[in-house]
Amino acid sequence: MDNFKSGFIAVAGRTNVGKSTILNALVGQKLSIVSDKPQTTRNIIRMIRTTESSQMIFLDAPGFHKPRTRLGEYMDEAALSSLNDVDLILFVVEEDIAIGPGDRHILQTLEGSSAPVILVINKIDKGPRENVLKKIELYKDYEFIREIVPVSANKNINLDTLIEVIEKYLPLGPRYFPEDMVTDRAERFTVSELIREKMLICLKEEVPHGTAVSIEKMTQRGNIYDIEAVIYCEKKSHKGIIIGRGGEMLKRIATLARRDLEYLLDMKVNLNVWVKLREDWTDNLSDLKNLGYSGENEE
């Protein structure tokens, strides 16, 4: 089509502002894990929305934060690298009124970008309308922000408008991916992320942030998927917490994960999960590489 539009769209923002929730809603499928804990997203995940008139390739990257480990450094580098060579940038903030130091740091980074920047104010259902109006006023002084779109990803408010604005700024271009493709990540990656999401939901405080999931085996026999996964943790005390008394916590994590996996894979799943100790893996370059956190954020 001569008027077909396509492009790569970076999604920037602090941790826990709802970037992944917005993208899951725009793509129409849960591809990026979601939790109420910060630093949920660790890798760049490409999510694709294709229509008759356009193809949008979103880059869901880790949120900007102050790194404290080498894993944190990897995540921060991933967030920065996602802003390179893109056609459009969505800067996601929450509806709270103030512009904090984290947002100001991101604004300074975005100011020098050659790509158009759209400000997306998420979670507008959480507070009064006046908060959103005041937030819009605060950002009007940043001339490089082309448009401001208030949304609520959880309530599906104004997402159609966001899609229209995104398409407006996309250049003419080809279909980079087949129209039925929604992510370029391998199935194993999505499976490991879903298991990690359940740990974020079930476990408290710092425990899930010191864990990683490795898929050791994933085979299909008839209409059944046999999946074997290992949860690595960096502290001996965390291993006991993940397993729980009598194995109850690990069973809960696996049960929740299996339900989502059966929906995702559209077949019965036989899931076995083990917990292993790998001390201080978040600060070990070799461990980070083995667990998929190295190089250019690829699998």
Is residue 142 within 8 A of residue 118, CB to CB? The reply is no
| Stated pTM of the model | 0.72
Task: Report the pLDDT averaged over residues 88-102.
Answer: 87
Q: How far apart are CA 77 and CA 209, in angstroms?
A: 18
- Bridge-partner residues for 47, per DSSP? 58, 183
DSSP secondary structure code for residue 177 in this structure:
S
Residue with tokens 């944190």: 72
Task: Report the pLDDT averaged over residues 95-107.
Answer: 84
For the ranges 15-24, 220-229, 251-260, the lowest mean pLDDT is seen at 15-24
Whether residue 231 is predicted with pLDDT greater than 70 in this model: the reply is yes
Helix (H) or strand (E) segment spanning residue 272: strand 268-277
Token representation of residue 153:
């990803």
All structural domains of the chain, each given as residue ranges with its CATH number in brackets, are 5-169 (3.40.50.300), 187-290 (3.30.300.20)
Res 79: pLDDT: 56
Whether residue 48 is predicted with pLDDT greater than 50 in this model: the reply is yes
The most distant pair of C-alpha atoms in the chain lies apart, rounded to whole Å, by 62
Phi-psi region of 247 (alpha: psi -120 to 50; beta: other; left: phi over 0): left
Res 299: pLDDT: 38
DSSP secondary structure code for residue 251 in this structure:
H
Arithmetic mean of pLDDT over the chain: 85
Helix (H) or strand (E) segment spanning residue 93: strand 88-94
